[in-house]
Structure 1
């Protein structure tokens, strides 16, 4: 019995330490714009000093953006986060939420078919996993797309050297113009706007 208790205690402590390493140190990144690829594969977060480029082979975000709802689902900036590793790889979740009963019936059916169901308070929470890379932003010039909202997303890291300079990150493959966002030879033409929940 004592051995089992010790094992459980060690497991709990390890879990807490791991969480503390990731969640203990971080900074708030101001995201000026979001873009999703026309094929639903690429997602781009545009900030002042960095661009965060993700690949979403599941195309989950594209399915969410195709819903008929307007303004019901919002970006939860407190729950959305990224973990930053020493090689500038990033991993985290984009969290959307809203009142389920305010959604059009078609959207309710589609979300439930995708495995998203309302909680006891009849709110729906959608977590979209993100895996990608952080790049140093280059000067976008006067043709860059103006931002209407600033979204603050928490970036956690375990290596303090990650925030000391932009130079260690590769230059972004993203170029923003008035007409489109060019990403790795593909045109990302669908900017998406979400009302932030603070």
Structure 2
């Protein structure tokens, strides 16, 4: 897939105010500071599309971007370490859950996992939630360039083995580096395939 246009559309706290659900939609979510904005910018081939920040919790809304006038890319708030009040965190969790469970055109959720770390309970728990809610998802392992190839491979394998303890079938996963653009073509190829399926059903 060639990315010709990528534009910011709108930000919301309410899934019902999101754009008309007439196009396939792909949401990106992960722990705070997982490198989500960098992955989004890599995929869109636009370094300034999503705001990158060293401060966890920068994304606080449901952010919609329109890609090639054909599909929506959605940047969701991170889960985990953002320094916010308990009530604010609960509000975010409710907003994210409502969006994930009720958005009719949501084709896939990409869960971003930091490949520099061993399996984290927070990530495993979130993926379990997606399973409970029957939300289709795949995994993107980020920041592969920050580690040795061996270390990245070891952490990815450990994470997938951890999932195997409770999942009969594992979702597709991609190892990425926003710096080297690793994994970009594979993710965009999957999105292209899903877009075609959406058109056939629509």
TM-score, normalized by length of structure 2?
0.22
Structure number with higher strand proportion:
1
TM-score, normalized by length of structure 1?
0.23
Larger Rg: 1
Which of 1 and 2 has higher RCO (CA within 8 Å, sep 6+)?
A: 1
